[in-house]
Structure formats: C-alpha cells, structure tokens
Chains A and B, each alone.
Chain A
C-alpha cells in the first residue's frame, strides 16, 4: 500500500488538518508520501518532512500552484498520483474543491468525508446530514477520499525524518485565474481545531450583541467562536464561522450553543463534540436533545454571569 496525502497549507505553514489526514493514512497502513503543491512553499515541505509517519515529501513549487487553483492542482495530483493505491485530502474547502476533479481525471470514483477506516478499501461516512452512517466499499484501482479531520486524532508534528523531493512537473491549465481573497483575521484559535467552541444563533439578536455577549465568554475559555446558519444569514458574523452540514464540522471537548435552536443541519456540524452545553430560553428546543447540560434562561443575563464565574 502506498498513500499520497495532499498537504493543506498557505505556502508558509502546514495546516493542522493535514495531520488528521496522515492519521487516517496510518489506519489504512503503508508508505505515506505528502504532496506539497504551492509557490515558495519550501518551509511547508520542511515541516511536512518532520511529521510523524511520513516517509517522503514531494514539493511541486511553481507559481501555477500559488493559490491552489483546482484546475492546476488537480491535474498535478492526477499526474503524480497514478502510482499510489490511495490518495487522501482533508475535507476542507480546498480538499473538496481539488480531489473530485483529480478523481475524474483519473477516471475513478471518490469517497467524501470518511470518518472511519474499516479496511484499506472500506470506509464509513455520514450521509443525510449525519442522520445515517454508510459503510462504503471501493473496487476502484486507486482509492480517493477526503477525510473528516475531527474523526481522526492528529499525528505529531515532529518525529519524522522524511526526504524532500522536488517535482518538476508543471500543470497550468490556463483556464482560471486568482483575483483576490478576503481572509478573516482572528486572534482566537481556529474553529475546526479548537478545544472549546462558543457558538451563537439567531437568539443573540444582533451582531453587536453577539460580540457583547459571547466575546467575554470565549476570551475566558480561550475558545473559538462559531455560529448557526441563521446568525450568519442575519449578518451577525461572517460565514466562515458557520458550523453545520454546509459550514464547518467541529468536534471540540466543549461546545457551548447560545441561542441556537438546533436544526438538523446545525447538529450535523457539532453533535460529535464531547460535551455539549445549550443555553436557550426555549425548553422545547431540539438542541436540548443532544446537550449534556442545558440551561433554560435569558442568554443576556445567563452568559455574562457564566463568564464572570469562570
């Protein structure tokens, strides 16, 4: 078995999501190679070489890969990936963008968002917003899958001593161009990797109130902040904070849901959290059914009180 893992990075640092994918690759078993496609990404390759369990790093360093355009990166993955038994990527917006395209170029089916490895060809994945778990077996010549990070404990960032090899192959399809990006800057831990997440829903009332009520609590706990789709659509917070089926999937040790009713689409994004706390004025809210502890009350008084007691 030989496994190719597509590194997730920003040309400067390796994203933690890659460590979860390497963990999934170890469950499959075999030689693990990490492909770093980027521009000026030597530092990322060096970091990847240190990661426990990685035996080789391939660095494709070219301007064509600078912004991870799927048209170019997928062509590279399809080119480099032919000799491998498995190709894995993280279930991030980037992994989801690139891997299906690479699969079609290789003329193979692909499995999205695996949460467990049953055998090298059999995997579990959630369907219907996490309301059912399917066990899927692939009979393709190469198994391609994206990996749900929260389902696999990350491997260590150190302990490995892989060799870094340059890939000279340049795939530039010339049909797409990067124009700009707007990345939300935050001092808080990254949402999908945080140990504690404090999330707000429609119940917080406004963007101003979201920050007034939830910032002090998140600060006290060193928590990342999330939101329900209702809060995002109402414009309280930007959409990269959305937790749910169509947003981010989180599984922290502690998830505090404030003013969130708990629609199934939201639950799909957080119900694997270790401990769930719901603070809501509605005794009948569906969130209470998955919560370990729920408190019925006015979030405007309860949340500041909670923050002051921590």
Chain B
C-alpha cells in the first residue's frame, strides 16, 4: 500500500524564540529550521512499515515556503520515495492545509496517511483531525502503537487517563505521539541518494484551495515574566518560606 506523510518546516526545537519588537510575530531570521519532531516520527513509522513490507511507496508532502524542500529531502534521506512541495508565500490556516492535503490524497490514493500530532510552532493539533473529516476517513490521533492487518489498522492512542486502542478502516489518518518510535539518523550515502529522488512543486491553486485563513493574528507578545526567585540553603529554610512567605502549605 501507499503511505503519505505530511511534514512541516518549523523552527528547530532547541531554539529559544524571540518575539519581534513590533509584536507582529516571532523573529525567524537566521534561526535554525528543521522538520517538526512529530513529523519526523511519522516519516520513521512509514519507513518501518515499508521495511516490514506493509507499505510499498512513501510519498512525503510539505506545504510551506520554497525552503521546505530541505525538509522533504531530509525525509527522503530517511527513506521516503518521492515528494510534493506545495509552495505558499505566507502561513496559512490548518483548515486550508487540510484541504490541500485532501486534494493530494484524492489524486494519489494512499491508504495510510501519517502526520505529526502537532507542529511545535503554532501548537494547534488540528490538521490530521480536519483531514479525517474532509476525507470521511477514521482518525487515530496521538498514536503510540500502529498495527496494520489486512484492510484495517489498530492504533493505540495516548489519552488523558492512559491508553486507548481503536480499530480503523483503511484509508485512515494517523497522527503520531512522541513515544511511537525513535527516528533514525540519515546516513551520508542516503542524503546523497535523496537528492536524486523526484520532487514535484505545486501551488494551492492546483488543488483548488485559496491560501488564506479566517483567523487573523492581531499581535504576538512575549509571555509574562516570572519574578526572580531565591535560592534557599536548607530544607528548614524551604519549609519556612513555603509556610510563611508563599503560604501554600
């Protein structure tokens, strides 16, 4: 079966971001960018399913700026077979991203669609669920175990009280949680090979979607700073402070 994996180019997880002085957004000039960590887990899961013989082809898709080609190439170095970049100029909404992905799914007809559970920049956690709705397909969100058998997939999901297992008809959407797997590192020969894999560049209009959103970001501010704390020297001092100063115990 064919697997489609969606990946997003985001600021690297280790970067401490700064808000721009004019409050228009976060300053991303000269900041290291990477594949969103959850998307990387989705790629790894697709590659493992290919190694098991369940998946025959892995298509990786990114919707983003021209530079998102780098993230598609990274996914190819991990084992994806070909890529589609849907080039956009500005950030678009999760609903529009889901609509573009729906267009690609209808053309490519993958049976498994893997996404990260959320992007670490906008922290929305929406696209997979929205795509499920648009396709009328089942969704296994926050997946920590994925088992494909025949025309069904069993997904163990991380829920608030523990774990829940559901069974979905294929095609199905799976969004990955951190504990699904540990992504491998790309070996140099694979990085070289990835350069030669096919990569199509498309636009949202190719899928009949307007690259826009009805959510307007009015401003972006830094969070309120906590006032500086104090170092206590002993347990006695700590207990005294918690009782008399903070009054929380």
Give the secondary structure class of A's interface.
mixed
Contact assessment for B223 and A126 in the assembled complex, using a CB-CB cutoff below 8 Å: yes
Given A132-B19, A137-B216, A221-B249 contact (CB < 8 Å):
yes
Interface size on B, residues (CB 8 A): 79
Roughly how many angstroms separate A301 CA and B169 CA in the complex, as a whole number? 53
A3 at the interface (CB under 8 A from B): no
A253 near B: Cβ within 8 Å?
Answer: yes
What's the dominant secondary structure at chain B's contact region? Answer: mixed
Binds B, one of A25-33, A39-47, A68-76, A161-169: A68-76
Nearest A residue (CB) for B227: A292
Give 1 or 0 for each of B207-240: 1 = CB within 8 Å of chain A CB.
0000001111111111100100111111110110
Instruction: Give min CB distance, B79 to chain A, whole Å.
Output: 23
CB of A82 closer than 8 Å to a CB of B: no
Contact between chains at B125 and A100 (CB < 8 Å): yes
A71 engages B95 (CB within 8 Å): no
Please count the residue pairs between chain A and chain B whose beta carbons lie under 8 angstroms apart in the complex: 249
- Which chain B residue has the least Cβ–Cβ distance from A283? B231
Contact across chains for B214 and A139 when beta carbons are under 8 A apart? yes
* With known contacts A245-B120, A275-B248, A294-B229, A109–B159 Cβ distance under 8 A: no
Shortest Cβ gap from A10 to chain B (Å): 8
Known contacts being A139-B216, A290-B226, is A103 close to B130, with CB within 8 Å? yes
Q: Find residues 99-113 in chain A having any chain B CB closer than 8 Å to their own CB.
A: 99-105, 107-113
Other-chain residue from B138, B141, B157, B230 in contact with A175 (beta carbon distance below 8 A): B138
Which residues on A sit within 8 Å (CB–CB) of B142? 93, 97
Identify which of B93, B117, B161, B167 contacts A109 (C-beta below 8 A).
B93
From B162, B221, B231, contact of A294 by CB (8 A): B231
Tell me the minimal C-beta distance from B44 to chain A in angstroms: 15
Complexed CA–CA distance, A98 and B139 (Å): 10
Q: Which residues of B sit under 8 angstroms from A240, Cβ to Cβ?
A: 158-162
A181-B163, A292-B246 given. 18 additional CB < 8 A pairs? Answer: A70-B129, A70-B132, A74-B129, A93-B142, A96-B125, A97-B129, A100-B129, A100-B130, A101-B129, A122-B218, A132-B221, A139-B215, A239-B144, A254-B248, A276-B229, A277-B238, A292-B226, A293-B230
A-B pairs with beta carbons under 8 Å apart, 14 shown = A71-B138, A98-B129, A100-B125, A100-B133, A101-B132, A101-B133, A128-B123, A132-B223, A176-B138, A176-B166, A178-B166, A293-B230, A305-B235, A309-B239
